[in-house]
Amino acid sequence: MDAMFVILREDYKEYIEEKSEELRTRVNEKLKSKEVTSPHVNTFDTFKKIVEILRGKLVEHNSLSVPAEYAPTDDGEMFTIHYRNGVTIEELAHELGHHCLHMGEKASHDHGLKPKKEIEANYFAKCFLLPRTIFKETVIAKSDNGQCDIVSLANEFSVSYLFAESRGNDLHIWGESNG
Ligand SMILES: [Zn+2]
CA of 66 to the centre of ligand 1 (A): 10
Distance between Cα 147 and ligand 1 center (Å)? 33
pTM: 0.88
Q: Mind listing the pLDDT tens digit for each residue in 141-168? A: 999 988 999 999 999 999 999 999 999 9
Instruction: Output the CATH code of domain 10-129.
Output: 1.10.10
| Cα–Cα distance for residue pair 67/139, rounded to 1 Å | 29
Q: How far is the CA of 146 from the centre of ligand 1 (A)?
A: 35
Domain ranges of the chain: 10-129, 131-174
Distance CA 43, CA 151 (A): 17
Ligand 1: centre distance to CA 92 (Å):
10
Instruction: Quote the strand ranges of 20-78, DSSP E.
Output: 56-60, 68-72
**Segment 87-126, tens digit of pLDDT:** 999 999 999 999 999 876 655 555 555 788 899 999 999 9
Q: How far does residue 141's CA lie from ligand 1's centre (Å)? A: 32
Separation of CA 27 and ligand 1 centre (Å) = 22
18-63: per-residue pLDDT in tens? 999 999 999 988 887 666 555 567 999 999 999 999 999 999 998 9
